[in-house]
Structure 1
Amino acid sequence: MTDPKYGPRDPLSDEQVATAVAALRADWTVLNAEPMPAGSDIVYGVTARDAEDRRREAVLKCFRRDGPAEGRSPERFLVEVDLLELVERETDIPVPAVYGTYRSRDGLPAPAFLMERLPGEPPLGVAVDGRAAVAERLLRESGRHLARVHDLRSFDAFGDLVSGDGSPAVRDGRATWPDRLRDIVDDSLDGLVGTRFADLTGPLREYADGRFADLDLAADAALLHGDYRPGNLLADPGTGEPTAVLDWGAAQAGDPRYELAWAVREFSGRAPVGSAARERVREAFIDAYEEGREDGFERDAAFERRQSFYLAVTWLVECRWFDAWWGGADESAREARADRLRENVRNLR
């Protein structure tokens, strides 16, 4: 649910890209291919010519077997295909069409799939002043889309989703949401050992233990996008209308309110709690989300306590993965964010 900065940018030769595309669309001829921003998978923007001499803009996505992300597998990678097809079939959320998929090919990274490259730009900085109408439309449409995602499927367990015979399924699931959330928290706390935030382990564990004891965290297992943020959207820069919701490979079954906490954090540009920018984004996003859900939430004191805990969990997860997520950032920005995370933890109640 963040912006990873890892992985080689250009691991494939031109011949390998052309061969992979041919395995997916035999009637296409690759004209040009460029590596796209590095992440947990191998991704190329491809320009091709089809059998009817039409120019095609597409994205080739290949599984990176030596990638740095934990819990990655071919089945986890291919759940994105299942979800793109499901969302395109059953909603009005803009997602790329899938042109082809293969599970194995000699000499090529596998599995892989080819999808449509939709227009638009990453809508970063939506909380800034000066473009209120554009930001408002982006926030409201994004909130409505997230509500639609959460209503799309339910599951009998909580955990990461994998491809299961063309339909997403939970892998190694937990029976209850508190158990699943406890795994997220404990894994993150354990991962702080040896990091710059190792000294926060004790205070964060004490805080989390108190919240697990005090809060009613019962929830139904809904479909979560898993990384819903402006960096995984495309939008019309003039109007703010979303043109694509991308990167479904981190999908999971969980509490919609948990993803809502992540989304508010990311769409507000990680603005401090209580700041005008964060509150403006939060109100617009959640209002639109509640309008879009078939079954909304009662925004009472219990809801706010739960959301505060979920926000704290986002900080804990970020501390755990700080070097991966911020490794490519400017040093001053990286250190400012580290200071902000420490301040956030100091202010936990």
Structure 2
Amino acid sequence: MYQEFISFTKKTFNTEAFIPLHAPIFLGNEKKYLNECIDSTFVSSVGKFVDQFEADVAKFTGAKHAIATSNGTSALHIGLLMAGVSKEDEVITQPLTFIATCNAISYIGAYPIFVDVDKETLGLSPEKLEYFLVNNTEVINGECINKSTKRKIKAVVPMHTFGFSANIEELVSVCNRYNIKVVEDAAESLGSSYKGQHTGTYGLVGAFSFNGNKTITTGGGGMLITNDDAIAKKAKHITTTAKIPHPWDYEHDMIGFNYRLPNINAALGCAQLEKLPYILERKKVLSNKYDTFFKDKSIEYLRGPKDSNSNYWLNAVMLENLEARNYFLKETNEAGVMTRPIWKLMNTLTMFKNAQTGNLDNAEWFEDRIVNIPSSVII
């Protein structure tokens, strides 16, 4: 079976060479816009491509505002600050996520709480979230208080895993009942939607990543999106060192961050975004090929949850158990077909081992079984 998959993958990608997990693809105006940026000499944090990229992402996602940042982690960091998270507060998120989710929480001096994921979506479970809140918190003077730690729970951060949308509508509904802000970690889900609405637009803010391995890339970069005018204005201000506009003077009115996306990265992003519909179309073609191949086989291909449209950023399969998973990883990687296990659960890492958790049965089950398989665009 494993050799059959290896042969199928090499045929699908039409190569006997090494097949990466997810490589960027450049099909349009990338070189043109980069040369234009270089010729203008505006290659750093000021230039027309930054403004254009922000406008284009806002239009594509349906968000009112988009604020470009240096990477997805910085976008998430700012998003948490915009949600009012402060030092000694608590933020609920899922243990099955990339480390950046928890790093952003920790930058503020806040504490993560880990609640389990859904088996259908791989995202934060609304049912498990509500169970945790009912049994561990109380709302006092409009604020959600953790009864055991006495800390305020300010935000919930669901992650749209591999481009699969979490059950975000229900998560927002649960959080509204407890006066908790939702900050969407949409780093992996540009081009994904839930019930026809783009991920990242359900919560107070959403954060995307444009790392080199994402659906589209700016080399390194991120984007915060929101429909709130005041939040957009403040986020733009503090990500650009909180400098008050002036023709020559240097005046800053608060602690800010140098999270600006360089114009040269934004130029690449503008060109990539122009080709995003085609990229999404071709990624769906690859997903359909995998779906057909794995039918009636012992390995399950993860197709994605109902009520959502995935960008199929990283395709994933589920093996029978940990032993089968490890053997699959060994056979594929030794054959030059790059595969990777899902992340180690955040609550098992040294810096988060003392974090409060709910029951994590689903996340622990997935950790032993899920493998990502090659997901680059096929032409």
TM-score (norm 2): 0.23
